[in-house]
Each structure stands twice: as C-alpha cells, then as structure tokens.
Amino acid sequence: MGTEIEEIKAKLNIVDVLGEYIRLDKAGANYRALCPFHNEKSPSFMVNEEKQFWHCFGCQKSGDIFAFVMEMEGLEFREALNSLAEKAGVKLQSYSPQKSQEKNRTLEILELATKFYEVQLWKGEGKEKILKYLKDRGLNDETIKEFRLGYAPNGWRNILSFLLKRGYKIEEINKTGLLVKKENSQDYYDRFRNRIIFPIGDFSGKILGYTARVTPGGDESQAKYVNSPETDFYHKSRILYGLDRAKIEIKKQDAILLVEGQMDVIASHQAGIKNTVAVSGTALTLEQIAIIKRYTKNIQMFFDMDSAGENATKKSVKLCLSSGMAVRIVSLENGKDAADMAKENPKKLEENVAGALPVMEYFLKRTFEKFDKNKVEDKKKITTEMLDIISNLENEVEKNYWIKKVAQGLGVSESALTDELKKASLKDKNYKDSGPKEDIERIGPKTKKEMLIWEMIGLMLVSSFVWKKAGEEAKTNKFFLPDNLFKLMVEKGEEVNFDLAILLNKIIDNRELSEKAQTLFSRKKYQLNLNNNLEEIIIEDPWKEFQACQREMEREEKKEELNRIGNDLKLAEERNDVQAKMFLLEQSDKISKELAKLMEL
C-alpha cells in the first residue's frame, strides 16, 4: 500500500486537491486560506507545497491530502484512499481486481439506469403527469434536475430491455437490485414500474440504489414506497439521503438537520436549508450516527409529531444521546411535514429550524403538557417517560440537572427520582456498549511536562541534526521521552533519513501519529506575525534549545518526585512511622539540592 500512496501523492499536488474545495492564495513559498473546519475572518490555514501538507493555526488541525479529504468529506482512510486513487488514475493492487471490476460495472449500470429514468421523466411518459405532480408539490425544474428525479414507466421489462441492449448481462443487472426474479423461474422483471424515482447516492454522489414512490392515481394497493434491496454495494443502514449535497453545509454550520423522507430533504434544500438529510427506508442506525459524527455532533430532528412519529423520534434521540450527540427537536404545527411547509412558507420553515429546542427541554415541556402532574398515575407516567430519556445522557452533571428539573415539576424529592433511575433496567444500555467510538481527540498538551515533550519532538522534526543526535542519546539511555511518536522517531530515524516527509509515508495508516507529527512540525516551523501573515520561525541553535528543554524536563521530574515524597511523608506521619519519616526527609533534602543546582543552570 505504501507504494500506491506514494504514487498518488506524486501524481496529485496538494495545492490542486485542496484548491477544489477552498480558495488558496499565494503567501511567499506557501499558500494560505480561510480554514474550512472552523469559522474565521482572517486566514490561518497554511499549505506547504514543498512538504505537501497543510496546517491551521486556528483550530490546530493538520495533515496531508488524505487527512484533508477525510476531514472535509467525513471519510475513513480507505474511502479517502479510493477517492484519491481514482482521481490520480492509480490502480490499488491491494484490492481484488475482480471485485473492483464488478463494482465498476454495477456503478455503470446504476448510472445508466438513472439517466434512463431522468429521460422518461423529462421527455417520455412522465413528462406531463409526473412533472406536473412534482411541480405541484413545490419543486422547480432546477431542483428536480439537481436531485436527478426520474420516472419508471409502466411495464415489466423497460429497464431490463434497455440495459440488455447496452451490452450488460442479466446476471450483472440483477446484482444492482433493479430486477426481481420470478418465482420458480429463471425470468426477471423490473422492480420499479410506474413510479417516481429518487436516486440514492453515496457521499460522492455515485448512485447505489433508489426509492420509488407510487405515482398519483397509481396502484394504491401496492406499497407507497419501494426501496432497492440490500446489495453488495447498497446498505440502507449506512446511507443518508442527500449527504453528498449537504456535507459541505453541515461542516460550515456544524449542524445537521435530519428529516423523514426524500421529499422533505429536496424541499428543504430548495428553501435554502442545505444541511438536510434523511434516513433511507430504515430507522436511524448506529452506523448512520457514526457517519454524521464525522461531520458534526449537533443534530436537529424534524419528525411528524403524531404518536408513531414521536415514538420513532424518541428511539432516535436515545440512540443519539447514548452516542454523545447534542440533539435539538424541530416541531411544526398542524401536522405539516417539511416538504409542505417549504412549499407554503419557506421563511416559516427557516424560523422553525432556527427555533429548535434542546431535546431535554422539548420532552420536559411536551411530557408535562401530555399528563396531569396532580394525578398519582400521571406522575408515574411522567417519571417513566422522562427517566427513560435522562438515562441515556452521558454526562452525570447533566443527568442530575434534569432530575432536579423533573423533581421540581412533580413536587417530589430528587432522591426519589435518583432511586428510580438506579432501579431502571436501562433498556438502551446496549447502545452505549456498541456505539460508535469517539473520533481522535484534537491533540493538545495537558501538563507542562507534556508541553516540553512535544516541544522537543517539534525541534527534532524541524532539524534533522537534532533528530539524529537526540536519537543517539535515547539509544544510549541518556534520556527517554514517554511518547509513542518519539519512540517511533528513534526507531525509524535512520531508516527515513531523519526526514518528516519520508516518515509520514511510513505511517500513513496511523492517522493519529501522522496528524500529531505534522501538527508538532507546523507549530515549531511556522507562526503568524502581528500582521497575521505567515512566517517561518527562525531557530538560531535548535540543539541548544533542545538541551534547554531537557533541563526543564529534569526540573519537572524532580518536582514530581518531591511531590510524591511529600505525599508519602503525610502517610508516614499519620502512621507515626519514625524510620520512614527520617528516610523520606533525607530523600527530600537530597532531591531539593539537586533541583536547586538544576535551577542555577
């Protein structure tokens, strides 16, 4: 894989790749831009073309082209690798050629089918009736085309015949989910007939499946919606409809709006609310939450508030809270959905979204409105409903706060509710146990000792001389830094010729270490001056600075040792252990003298 990564990097210039997403301006030997990952008025995002990596001095994120695409698109490394390999024209040998060819054929068929359905809508049988229906629902031509809506004509073999004539085999077509096999027969027929087609894409817009809605006046005895079945490439539990068009806006707003159906997504986008997505023919899943968390931890839910809708919302809310999401609820009056309001009053829709209530406030208000708190039975119902949601909160302080609010509203003691919470079976505990893991925390030193360690690693990364000399000292046990990156640099220093770029290629699969190395290098190599212009940091004597950090580290270690002895002395005094006290006082005196000498240096 390393060779393939190097080939991709050799063929793709970081300036060209990042330039497709953000505006880059030349600034000396580097490029700069407004950071796409946090809001800022003055550009603090730097791109180093020579080293082929980027760093933001505002949010401290950094990386290479892979890290940028992963962050920007919300991808895992494998997905970013695939995307950039395709852009660079590099074949990934680590993948099965047969599987790769099979997937390409499947995607070709689905793309061609989508075009077929589009033509049927705009020029074929759907031109009059179906287009009129979509426009009556409030959609304009531009939106219909943007979301690639189509029409599957009535008949049993329309798409099948079309694709067979294009040279595809029936076995290949069947793998896409477009066909249904007749029982006790080798014959196939079209899955979608006389239906409005909503193509469903992956994060990059490649079509993987469809939702097909019955046409107005169509056979209402059949299901209103028919979805593509699960295939090798289409998994409903991992798809969010509209994500390919919403992802940039989600990042920009640091929030996502989750609605119920495709029409709600399309209408919301047309109304200007472009961070909107929907689940596709499934309840919200942990996999979908994991995808959302790549972009944001703030989720707004927009569901029908009939009893079925509210129950579905509660399940989704509990799943999100258990996964560490911040949730708000958007509600509409009179049972309208997002699509209806987007058509009737787009401004009102915007106001409702902006006025979304934090989830606990929403359910507290709604639950107390639904039941009579003065009746004993209703008190129990309020307690059950609220504790069911509170139990999913991750933060104990937040849990206690809402227990207090419910207790005040019911006129009961907090301890009574706390006892009830402890007794509860916590039905959704399994969600917490199997929930998506947290993203890698943004690195930042937490103690002075850690700050010194990172300062020393930064010096090693910007100076091959310091890297080599520090590595030699570490190998002869003169000193050692308790840090995984330092250990790696000592082990691999000679192998990578004490060069950051070569090291990064070696650890491309280790996102955490790669990101950390680039961040520490950037912090030590560049800074923003008083005019907010990027400039290189001039270090007159990197080795001398490194040694100064070493001495400071020794001082910190002596201070830590003195603190430990101080704690042990307290224990010895409590136990009246005279011998231990004398020994510890001698040690304390010895280390204090050593520290005094170090302070003089």
Total domain count, the chain:
4
More confident residue, 442 or 366: 366
Closest CA to 489 of 516, 471, 507, 508: 471
Task: Band the pLDDT of 282: cuts 50, 70, 90.
Answer: confident
217 and 254 belong to one structural domain:
no
Predicted pLDDT at 428: 42
Q: What is the pLDDT of residue 438?
A: 36
Per the model's pLDDT, the better-predicted residue between 505 and 380 turns out to be 380
Cα 446 versus chain centre, distance: 24
Q: Which domain holds residue 13?
A: 2-88
Q: Is residue 227 part of a domain?
A: yes
- pLDDT exceeds cutoff 80 at 439: no
What is residue 579's predicted lDDT score, i.e. its pLDDT?
Answer: 82
Evaluate if residue 441 carries a pLDDT over 80: no
Q: Is the pLDDT of residue 457 over 80?
A: yes
Please indicate, yes or no, if residue 538 is contained in any of the structural domains.
no
pLDDT of residue 435: 40
Residues 268 and 417 in one domain: yes
On whether both 388 and 248 belong to a single domain, the answer is yes
Which has the minimum average pLDDT: 316-325, 333-342, 345-354, 588-597?
333-342
Asked, for residue 523, whether it belongs to a domain, the answer is no
336 occurs within a structural domain: yes
Look at residue 26 and tell me whether its pLDDT is greater than 60: yes
Residues 428, 508 contacting (CB under 8 angstroms) = no
**CA–CA distance, 57 with 30 (Å, rounded to integer):** 14
Per-range mean pLDDT, top range of 49-63, 404-418, 428-442: 404-418
**Does a structural domain hold residue 561?**
yes
Final residue of a domain: which of 439, 468, 496? Answer: 439
Mean model confidence pLDDT for the chain: 84
- Whether the per-residue pLDDT at 119 is higher than 70: the answer is yes
pLDDT band at 477 (very low <50, low <70, confident <90, very high): confident
Asked whether the predicted pLDDT for residue 395 surpasses 90, the reply is no
d(CA 36, CA 47): 13
Q: Are residues 76 and 106 in the same domain?
A: no
pLDDT at 97: 56
Q: Which CATH number characterizes residue 102's domain?
A: 3.90.980.10
Q: What is the mean pLDDT of residues 434-456?
A: 61
pLDDT in tens, 103-117: 788 999 999 999 999
Q: Does the pLDDT at position 542 exceed 60? A: yes
> The domain spanning residue 55 has which CATH number?
3.90.580.10
Instruction: Mean pLDDT check: name the lowest of 46-55, 399-408, 462-471.
Output: 46-55
Instruction: Give pLDDT tens digits for 122-133.
Output: 999 899 889 999
pTM for the model: 0.62
Tell whether 225 is covered by a domain. Answer: yes
Query: Do 66 and 165 lie in a common domain?
Result: no
- Is residue 141 pLDDT above 60, yes or no? yes
448 assigned to some structural domain: no
Measure CA of the first residue to CA of the last residue in the chain; give whole Å: 49
Looking at the structure, tell me whether residues 151 and 197 fall in a common domain.
Answer: yes
How high is the pLDDT of residue 430?
39
> Does residue 152 sit in the same domain as residue 66?
no
Residues 254 and 336 in one domain: yes
Q: How far apart are the C-alpha atoms of 417 and 405, rounded to whole Å?
A: 11
Is 389 exposed, middle or buried (CB count within 10 Å of its CB: 0-12, 13-18, 19+)? buried
Specify the CATH number for the domain of residue 262.
Answer: 3.40.1360.10
Query: Which domain-ending residue is among 212, 234, 256?
Result: 234
The backbone torsions φ and ψ at residue 169, rounded to the nearest 5 degrees and listed phi first, read -85, 150
The tally of CA atoms less than 13 A away on the side-chain side of residue 80 is: 20
Do 300 and 215 share a structural domain? no
pLDDT band at 437 (very low <50, low <70, confident <90, very high): very low
* 137 domain residue, yes or no: yes
**243 and 229 fall within a common domain:** no
Q: Are strands 326-330 and 298-302 parallel, antiparallel or unpaired?
A: parallel
- Whether pLDDT at 378 is above 60: yes
Residue-wise pLDDT for 344-367, tens only, equals: 888 888 888 888 999 999 889 989
Instruction: Find all residues with CB under 8 Å of 537, minimum gap 6, and list them.
Output: 524, 525, 526, 527
Lowest mean pLDDT among 71-75, 154-158, 420-424: 420-424
Residue that terminates a domain, selected from 416, 439, 462: 439
**Rounded CA gap, 73 and 71, in Å?**
6
Q: Which of 126-140, 385-399, 534-548 has the highest mean pLDDT?
A: 126-140
How would DSSP label each residue in 288-343? HHHHHHHH-SEEEEE---SHHHHHHHHHHHHHHHHTT-EEEEE--GGG--HHHHHH
Q: Is residue 339 located within the same domain as residue 385?
A: yes
Structure tokens at 428: 């959704």
Please indicate, yes or no, whether residues 130 and 20 belong to a single structural domain of this protein.
Answer: no
Q: For the ranges 49-58, 297-306, 559-568, which has the lowest average pLDDT?
A: 297-306
Report residue 333's pLDDT band, with 50, 70 and 90 as the boundaries: low
Closest residue by Cα to residue 353 from 344, 364, 341:
341
For 396-447, where are the alpha helices, taking DSSP H only? 396-410, 414-423, 429-434
User: What does the pLDDT look like over 189-198, one tens digit per residue?
Assistant: 999 999 999 9
pLDDT at 432: 40
